Amino acid sequence: MNKSILSILGRDRPGIVASVSRVLFEQNCNIENVSQTMLQTEFAGIFIVSMPDGMTSDALHHELDSRLTPLGLTVLTKPCDHGEDSCPAAECEPFVITTRGPDRKGLVAHISGVIARHGVNITNLQAMFKGGDEPGDNIMIYEVDVPKAVDLQALAADLRDRACELQLDISIQHRHIFEVLHRI
Amino acid sequence: MLTQREIISTLEMLRNENLDVRTVTLGMNLLDCGGSDLSHVRRRIAERIMRLAGQLVPVCDRVGQKYGIPVVNKRIAVSPIAAVGAALSPAELVELARTLDAAAREVNVDFIGGFSALVEKGMARGDRSLIAAIPEALSATERVCASVNVASTRAGINMDAVILMGATIQRAAELSADRDGAACTKLCVFANIPEDIPFMAGAYLGIGEADAVINVGVSGPGVVKKAIDRALASQPDLDLGGLSELIKKTAYKVTRVGELIGREVAEHLGIPFGVVDLSLAPTPHVGDSVGEIFQSLGLLAIGVPGTTAALALLNDAVKKGGAFASSRVGGLSGAFIPVSEDLNISEAARQGHLCLEKLEAITSVCSVGLDMVAIPGDTSTDTLSAIIADEMAIGVINCKTTATRLIPVPGKKAGDHAFFGGLMGESVILPVNNARGSNPFIRRGGLIPAPIHSLKN
């Protein structure tokens, strides 16, 4: 399958997704997955598209760049050459790690470093730093997949130690508790 | 993907609103451990408890840690000991209570319930022996809890048992006089006792239950109070229908947590899951009080006029939310009003807002009854029995569970302070009408017949 992954960045405003998808449609590309988010005023979108036979990622990039750069958007394109099933995932349990505490540089680096050292994958990260010492103003929420082979107690202990050094209040909970509490 | 709001509101409930699983209670059948040889009975019971409950506490702690939800208490409920030890004498039953206490300590559970008898229609030999053993059994042990069901809607009220329980409570208080009669904090007298209560002191494993079962008691008065406070802050003119809806949704969440934890503990232990008992059960901590909910709803204090209506609304909303959240709701399921265990309720009693008669009135709409009520030590056994009889009548006629957990505090009078410690809390001693008097009506004994089930007025 001839696929490409695109990342589109730029100041948010109405019409960005429409502009990108118009180019893709005209190039006879099919959107397989798309995810977009906004951080403060900035738009970021990721598209995985299948391209018609003979088209290359470079050619698609050229087309997108020429149409979207004038709109103030930055385009990154790369071939997506791994099949969906080419990397078998280890059996995992989903956990949520939440921290609250005073803002300082390096919080994400420190906490994600501990998570990485234990071989745990972050599947979603939301962080909001308004600055200052008010704990509720500075929150990190990591959704992670913990492989069953990972020692959860050791991961939790390491995270707590690091959080303590950073004066962060940390909790590590199985994702199921949030779904059970809030969803029918 | 979870939303930030879902995650943060969950953390708020856990950290600032005392959301927890109040108890995971392992029910175990001991009926096949009975016999007339005390040493054999003791050995078999100790072995059964060690085998089934040995992993209860570590599993609860592990599951609690996984979800970030503390399982505050781990407990055991056994088959009624009056049936298990039917062939034993009262003195032997006291020894059996010591065995239960030692086994509970060994597996690190804080209470073991089931030193119980079911005598609503009549008393068998084992029942009489057990009731005779209760005062010493509760005074000599730390963790054993007792309950006696003296009435039911189908059988009526066994007034001979009611008379006996008045004297039993008085004797238990005397034997624990150095601790303000604390033995009585582990003794409940019931009408319509459910077979699957996870909460103490009334927990036992019903005759109709399986070999073993995991029942869960969830709580969460702090969560309900904070939800009400938040709603009224953003919508000050919210009416009672809106508040009921809010409490219902909150009870739903609390129940879901209990069922999740209970099912997982049951699965790890290889024991069937039983029920979630969704009761608003307070502890003597600020922010974990049922009494504070009444103030959030707009009452000066629990006990003032309007209390019964507020409790009816609260109880009904809790049940509706819980019933939607789980198809395995059981036990008592409602709001507890344990006077000494709730700082706010205890303070309302001290200030005179809450009296024994008002407590009795609200038991017509709450889940239990006269719970953890300290009364003068010189209250006569006739009057103790009469208070029990009144409470039983409310349960029997209204087809609901009611109970008493009365503590006649030795050497103390109305207005004095009783201190039981720990979860049992402390309380002012409430005055009792005709405290020291006799009561020829009660002394007549016999059976108050089961009520008619039509002509409901």
pLDDT digits (tens, 9 = 90+) for B269-304: 999 999 999 888 888 777 889 999 999 999 999 999
Q: Please report the pLDDT score of residue A88 as a whole number.
A: 60
Q: Within this chain, do residues B414 and B280 fall inside the same structural domain, yes or no?
A: yes
The CATH fold assigned to A3-79 is Alpha-Beta Plaits (3.30.70)
Work out the mean pLDDT of chain A and round it to a whole number: 90
Q: Please report the pLDDT score of residue A103 as a whole number.
A: 86
- B interface test, pick of A177, A183, A184 with most B CB neighbours within 10 Å: A177
The CATH fold assigned to A92-182 is Alpha-Beta Plaits (3.30.70)
Q: Within this chain, do residues B140 and B224 fall inside the same structural domain, yes or no?
A: no
- Number of folded domains in chain B? 2
Distance from CA of A153 to the nearest CA of B (A): 10
Q: Please report the pLDDT score of residue B351 as a whole number.
A: 95
Q: Please report the pLDDT score of residue B294 as a whole number.
A: 96
pLDDT digits (tens, 9 = 90+) for B17-42: 878 899 999 999 999 999 999 999 99
Which stretches of chain B score pLDDT less than 70? none
Q: Quote the Cα angle for B190-B192-B198, to 5°.
A: 75
Q: Please report the pLDDT score of residue B363 as a whole number.
A: 93
B21 inside domain: no
B208 inside domain: no
Nearest CA in chain A to B67: A173
The domain that holds B360 is classified in CATH as 3.20.70.20
Q: Within this chain, do residues B174 and B232 fall inside the same structural domain, yes or no?
A: no
| DSSP-assigned beta bridge partners for residue B151 | B157, B191
Which residues lie closer than 8 Å to A4 by C-beta, 6 or more apart? Answer: A29, A48, A49, A51, A57, A60, A77, A78, A79, A80
pLDDT digits (tens, 9 = 90+) for B126-165: 999 999 999 999 999 999 999 999 999 999 999 999 999 9
On whether any CB of chain A is under 8 Å from the CB of B226, the answer is: no
* Closest CB to B11 among A124, A126, A171: A171
B210 inside domain: no
User: Which of A103, A170, A95, A166 is CA-nearest to residue A130?
Assistant: A103
The helix/strand/coil state of A136 is helix
B13 inside domain: no
Distance in angstroms (rounded) separating the CA atoms of residues A80 and A76: 12
- B interface test, pick of A128, A144, A171, A178 with most B CB neighbours within 10 Å: A178
Which residues lie closer than 8 Å to A137 by C-beta, 6 or more apart? Answer: A103, A128, A129, A130, A131
Binary contact (A181, B69; C-beta < 8 A): no
The two tokens of residue A1 are 């399958």
CA of residue B38 relative to chain centroid, distance? 30
The two tokens of residue B147 are 């309950």
Q: Within this chain, do residues B161 and B299 fall inside the same structural domain, yes or no?
A: no
Q: Please report the pLDDT score of residue A83 as a whole number.
A: 57
**Domain of B59, in residue numbers:** 28-191
Distance from CA of B135 to the nearest CA of A (A): 43
B371 inside domain: yes
Q: Within this chain, do residues B128 and B254 fall inside the same structural domain, yes or no?
A: no
The answer to whether the predicted template modeling score (pTM) of the entire model surpasses 0.95 is no
Give the count of alpha carbons within 13 A of B333, CB side only. 29
B209 inside domain: no
Whether A3-79 shares its CATH topology with A92-182 is answered yes
ipTM score for this prediction:
0.80
User: Could you tell me what percent of chain A has a pLDDT over 70?
Assistant: 95
Q: Within this chain, do residues B221 and B369 fall inside the same structural domain, yes or no?
A: yes
On whether any CB of chain B is under 8 Å from the CB of A180, the answer is: yes
B369 inside domain: yes
Q: Quote the Cα angle for A17-A21-A22, to 5°.
A: 115
Q: Within this chain, do residues B225 and B259 fall inside the same structural domain, yes or no?
A: yes
pLDDT digits (tens, 9 = 90+) for A53-105: 999 999 999 999 999 999 999 999 999 876 555 556 679 999 999 999 988 88
Residue type, B425: G
Q: Please report the pLDDT score of residue A85 as a whole number.
A: 54
Q: Please report the pLDDT score of residue B20 as a whole number.
A: 87
Distance in angstroms (rounded) separating the CA atoms of residues A109 and A166: 12
pLDDT digits (tens, 9 = 90+) for A117-143: 999 999 999 888 887 777 677 899 999
Q: Within this chain, do residues B159 and B220 fall inside the same structural domain, yes or no?
A: no
Distance from CA of B390 to the nearest CA of A (A): 40
What is the DSSP pairing of strand B212-218 with strand B273-278? parallel
On whether any CB of chain A is under 8 Å from the CB of B58, the answer is: no
